[in-house]
Structure 1
Amino acid sequence: MTSSDNITIHPRRFPTAKADSLLAGILLSFLATAGLFYVNIMAAIVDGLVSGLNLTDAQAGNIGSANIYGAALGALMAIILIKKIKWRPAAIAALIGLIAIDVVSMFITDPSILIVVRLLHGIIGGLLVGISYGVIARTANPDRTFGVLLFVQFGLGGLGVMLLPRLVPIYGTQALFVALILFSLASLAMVPFLDRYPPRPKPLATTTGTIQKKPLSFTLLAIFLFQAVNMALLAYIIRLGISYGLEREYVSTALGLATWVALLGPGLVIIIGTKYGRFWPLFLVMGLTLAGTALFHLSGSKAAYLIANCGTGITWGMVMAYLLGMASQFDESGRTAAAGGFVSKIGLATGPVIAGQILTAGFGFSFILNGALILFVVCTVIMLIPARQLDQQSRLVPGGTL
């Protein structure tokens, strides 16, 4: 592929990346990641707030939760606004708002005030993510673009988790917010080089703009369950390893390695897209998810713990790329993609809460793992129903992608 394949020249405008090129996918991925990058480096942020501002674990966790719940509210707003606003000016305004709030956050030491400020940051960030998802839904192959998005998030998130904990003791919590500011500035610089992305017809969207609610409902429910179960495990994955007798140093190393290995998941979606449909890739990958989750029962073995983390990391990124791509297929404006983003965030916020209650009640990690296996089976059945329907529809629609 030559550079001319990726660039379109518009009169009196910036040269823009061709709407459905890999370069455009990368630019869109940075835009979407900017609104939620703090989630990818959440472990570093919580640790930095504790070590840099001497906050308690609970206070730091509440600040992180405020950011996520704010993002869910912002994503909900995006569902309503995506058809009514021009996405480019809205994205620019949101990025400027994120930068301003991160600058203010650098000088706040009161956790109560920081909770309110980060809640506002989350709302604006969630709105930006919802807008970005809506734009991605207008590409020819949103599954592949969401694969690029998750590749960017996993890669940069892993880098942030590796570097930021080392910078906070030297530069204080300002290092955390500077990282977020720099990422938003980079994303802001990329916006002018994106194409227009007007709404386009989707295979399961009607000409009247109505949405097929049944397959969409199945897809959104699958997103919620998948994210909730995965985050319930991830939030306590360090404690799980330690409870099985592993050293803290090994657990941290294993998680760091797993973050990078997990890039294989979205990378595969980028390569194969929907060439083989959605049903069979999801069926096979969810089988691997079940195997990896079951392997956590053997976490007393270092090899088993590492393999389980790597395996579930790979499948997490791959499944979510397909599910978000599926959600984008049910209307022409991008509302359902924004809805997928909202439901995803609710799942991410809900999973750790439920897992925490289970552990507090004394049921232990075996109970959580067994519950996760059951819910993953249910989730598999739910997601395969709309996946098969989309595959069948793609064969019938001229130009449908498979």
Structure 2
Amino acid sequence: MVMPPETGKRTPPGQMELVAAILMGGLGITQVVAMPLLATLIASAFQIEGADSGLIGLANLLGTALGSLIVTIWLHHLPLRRTVIVSALIAVAAQIAVAVMAGFTGIILLEAVSGIGAGVLIALSAAIVGASANPDRGFAFILTLQAGVAVLVLLVIPVLAEAYSLLEVMIFLASTQALLIPVGLTMRYGPIAEKALKTSEASGSPVQASILLRAASYFVFSAAVGVLWVFSGILGSMAEIDDAPLGHALAFGNVAAIAGSLLAAIITSRFGRISPILAVCLTLALSALLFAADMTLIQFYLASSLFLFAWGGGLPLLMGSVAAADATDRVTSLLPVLAFAGMGVGPALVGIVPGSSGLFQQVSYTTIGLVALAFCLLVSAHTVARLRKGLG
């Protein structure tokens, strides 16, 4: 079957617009990476205990997902400059309002609103970078910036909370995202142009299957890293490693994550994607095996560094794989939601996975199983793509 010609062409983002998109993806994530500490501070300020304190993070995450869905649905109709500026203003205003809100219900609603603004920014960032000539490199730079922002936020918040109050913490977070207001001025006025394709129903089906398989691989890989992100500290404590060294080891691991992302930016797609992603999956599986009941502090350093290195390097490669196959950028704009959802689903699976040696074995089995599934899905996506070319 001969594929019909393309009748439209997207205008790739310019250099300034691409840099702006990377900043949007890196800074837009601020409230998400701050949530482990922020939820505790807000709950303490309102004397909220137990499961109710989890509503803060849940509201923010749901709002982020909703913002990303808005972009997915109306991607090719949203004026970029206005959307970025308005979304940044919404995120900033809602975060500051949290500090002065009197009721806990209002806090929940404001966190959801703030999440919507951030979700729009993050999803637009993914769509713009996905439309660039080298999406792998752009996504790698986003994840590098996110890791840097996470380190900054998690170091500054405890200092501000101890010396001042919740208001100063929220102003700090809001000021970080306020940097995206002038960034929005570098965007084009109009929306991202859609690539017009004339394809038959038969030829369109394999394309969709390939994109969905790649997105599923990204989701499952996110679930695998989510398992280790949630349980690494718990496993370290069970191995009788003190809290302070645990924190230092995870901070050191964030440096490894930055190194992984930068390596992905250098590699991009020049070596293909299958081999580098296989290496990343094997590294993540090895890190899971290193988390053991009798591990030393040095072993914990090695395990957490390998895990975060694989996380930082694997996600941009998988995101680039989706973007390369997604002509409309709609699935690409959903990738942030898939990452957050995967990181939530992965840890939930640990409890149902059998392990005769307890939690250490359950975490290892769950991580390795998810990594293997993610790689199989990616190979399946490439097989489907090759079959499509054979029909062309």
- For the aligned pair, the TM-score class normalised by the smaller chain equals 0.7 to 0.9
Find the counterpart in structure 2 of residue 267 from structure 1.
262
Is 1:99 the counterpart of 2:89? The answer is no
TM-score, normalising length: structure 1: 0.83
- Post-superposition shift, 1:198? 4.4
For 1:175, the equivalent position in structure 2 comes to 168
Select 1:344's aligned residue among 339, 342, 350.
339
Unaligned runs of 5+ in 1: 1-17, 395-402
**What is the distance in 1 between the residues matched to 2:311 and 2:185?**
32
| Alignment check: 8 A CA contact 2:76 2:192 kept | no
Aligned length: 372
- CA positional deviation for 1:295: 0.8
1:155 is aligned to 2:148 = yes
SS of match in other structure, 1:297: coil
Distance 1:57 1:24 in 2: 44
Post-superposition offset of 1:41? 2.4
Residues 341-350 or 79-88, more deviating? 341-350
Deviation at 1:294, TM superposition (A): 1.1
Contact kept in structure 2, 1:289 and 1:315, CA below 8 Å: yes
Cα gap change, 1:268 to 1:393, in 2 (>3 Å): farther
Indicate how the Cα distance of structure 1 residues 271 and 235 shifts in structure 2: closer, same or farther if over 3 A, else same: same
Q: Structure 1: how far apart are the matches of 2:223 and 2:43? A: 25
Q: Contact (CA 8 Å) 2:291, 2:360: kept in 1 or not? A: no
Q: CA deviation at 1:77?
A: 2.1
Cα offset, 1:357, TM superposition:
7.8
Superposition CA RMSD, Å:
2.9
Task: Tell me how far apart the structure 2 counterparts of residues 387 and 175 of structure 1 sit (CA, whole Å).
Answer: 49
Q: Give the whole-Å Cα distance in 1 for the aligned partners of 2:173 and 2:352.
A: 31
- Asked if 2 retains the 8 angstrom alpha-carbon contact of 1:199 and 1:334, the reply is no
CA-CA distance at 1:313 after TM superposition:
0.4
Secondary structure of the 1:245 match is coil
Aligned to 1:320: 315
Equivalent residue, structure 2, for 1:309: 304
Opposite residue 259 of structure 1, the aligned amino acid is N
Residue in structure 1 matching 2:214, options 204, 214, 219: 219
Distance 2:42 2:387 in 1: 50
| 1:366 CA drift (Å) | 2.4
Residue 45 of structure 1, aligned match among 38, 42, 60: 38
Deviates more, 1:33-42 or 1:224-233: 33-42
Using the size of structure 2 for normalisation, the TM-score is 0.85
8 A contact 2:235–2:293 mirrored in 1: no
Distance 1:382 1:354, change over 3 A: same
CA distance in 2, matches of 1:260, 1:53: 35
Q: Write out per-residue CA displacement over residues 67-123 of structure 1, whole angstroms, 9 at most, x where no aligned residue.
A: 112212221222111022222221111111111111211213543331222122222
Q: State the partner residue of 1:246.
A: 241
- Rounded to whole Å, the distance in 1 between the matches of 2:22 and 2:61 is 19
4+ long deviations beyond 6 Å: 356-359, 388-394
Deviations 1:154-187 (A, max 9, x none): 0111121122112111122223322221122111
Name the CA distance, whole Å, in 1 between partners of 2:388 and 2:24.
30
User: Residue 77 of structure 2 is aligned with which of 67, 72, 84?
Assistant: 84
CA distance in 1, matches of 2:36, 2:271: 36
What displacement does 1:49 show? 3.0
Distance 2:221 2:53 in 1: 26
Query: Would the alpha carbon gap of residues 171 and 89 (structure 1) be closer, same or farther in structure 2, given more than 3 Å must change?
Result: same
Which residue number in structure 1 is paired with residue 8 of structure 2? none
Amino acid at match of 2:244: E
Q: Which moved more, 1:333-342 or 1:134-143?
A: 333-342
Partner AA of 1:241 in structure 2? G
In structure 1, what is the Cα distance between the partners aligned to 2:237 and 2:174?
Answer: 35
Structure 1 segment 381-392 matched on structure 2, within 5 A:
381-386=376-381
TM superposition shift of 1:305: 0.9
Gapped regions of structure 2 (runs ≥ 5) = 1-11
Q: Is the 8 A contact 1:241 1:299 kept in 2?
A: no
Identity of aligned residues (%): 20
